[in-house]
Structure formats: C-alpha cells, structure tokens
Amino acid sequence: MTVRRKVAWVTGASQGIGAAVARRLARDGWVVAASARSTDKLEALAAESDAWQGSVEAFPLDVTDEAAVTVVYEEIEARLGAVDLVILNAGTHQPIAAADFAVAPVRKLIEINLMGTVHCLAPVISRFVERQSGRIAVVASLAGYRGLPTASAYGASKAGLINMCESLRPELQEQGVVLSCVTPGFVRTPLTDRNPFPMPFLIDANTAAARIVSGLAGNRFEITFPRRFAYLMKLLRVLPYALYFPVVRRVSPRRD
C-alpha cells in the first residue's frame, strides 16, 4: 500500500520567502508546485530538489493573469494530485513618496499583491470547499497594520489582504478549510535589499520560512514574526492619531 505524498502550491517561489518555503516543504517530504514568472529560477529550484525527500515541480505563472491562474491550478492537480496546502506569497514592493504619487505604480502593486492573490484564492477556495478540507496561507505584511511613509500603495495592498483574510476565515472554517494570514516584518530578500534605510529586526528568508512552516502546524489565524517587531506594530495599530502621526514623523527617514 502506497501513501500519497502531500501536495503544496507556493506562489512567488522563484526567490526570497517563496523559494525558502518551497525548499523547506520539499525537504520535509512534500511535493511542491512552485509558481512564479521566472521559468529559469523555478527550474533551478526544481533541480535542487533531486536530493531531497520530497520534490519541487515548476509551474510558471503570472498571478495577474486570472485565466492563466485557473489553468495552472487545474494543471497542478491533474499532474500532482489534490492540493493540500496553498501558500500565496507572490508580491512586490515599490516605495512611493507623496510627492511622486501616481496611478500607475499604485495600480501595479494592487494588481500583483492584492488581485494576484484574489485570482489564486478563487479556484482554490472553490475546490477546497467542495472537498471540505485544505489549508491556505496568505502572505501579507506587518506594513498592513497602519499607514507608513512611502508605503501608501504597498501598505494598502497588504492591509486589503489582512482584511480579506479576516472576513473569509470564519466562513471557511465552517466548510472544513483553514485560512491563515502571514504577517512578516523585514525579511532579507532581493526586494528589501533595495531599501535605503535601516530595517529593524531584519531576518533572513530561511528563518522566515521556518516560522511560516512551523506556524502552519497549528490552527491559528495569524502567523507573525519577528515577535518584537510584531508587538511594536500592534502597539502602533491601537495608538490614537494624535499620538500615532508624531511618532511616525519622528522615526521616518527624512527626504533630502
């Protein structure tokens, strides 16, 4: 009698947190469907998995293409079997100063970070509810807790993800589906390497992946880290505006 290996789908898996999570799961014996736009990076990641207990299979995808998302998800299940775990991590960041505020960069971040996740959630939720089982993790950010300077678009997209997950969690639980929201702080990735300011409590992608995977072993809604930074952001979340804005002005990097 053969035991079916568990199948996970990870988006944004070509680098950073997504790639680290895919590696971690595959080493633990999962069959991982890895999606991102970069075919070369996905194939390189898949080649690494030859020595692991599980495996990584490349499924290139642009999450902003709604029709393509459904096709790829159906292909994953046709090739690998029913998906047990979905980690929706695809996203990007672009700082936008108030003086440079424009439609195009805001639309880009909303389309990738928020709508890209929505495109993935739609077919996944439909299939998981039908089966009355499944685990979903949506990667948002501590930046979604409150508005921060230069993060008007990024923060809005992540706040939208958090709110959406809060809305979906109770209903999905009644259908046997567990939804968690991952809210990391600063994680060293190619995106954060471009930040021109000090990043408090910075951790590496492998540490972030370990926190995510261990958090998914339980049933809690929020998986957040690093803990000290999360506590700080939670405190800012409850401050009244009369206190919040002076604090933010004081700690924000000054523009020349």
How many residues does this entry show for the chain? 256
Query: Does the annotation mark 73 as catalytic?
Result: no
C-alpha to C-alpha distance for 245 and 12, rounded to whole angstroms:
33
Map residue 54 onto helix, strand or coil. coil
Q: Would you say 58 and 42 are in contact if contact means Cβ atoms under 8 Å apart?
A: yes
Q: Find the catalytic residue in 73, 145, 154, 244.
A: 154
The 3-state secondary structure of 74-88 reads HHHHHHHCCCCEEEE
Rg of the chain's alpha carbons, rounded to an integer? 18
Residues in contact with 148: Cβ distance below 8 Å, sequence separation at least 6, in sequence order = 155, 248, 252
Q: Which residues are catalytic?
A: 154
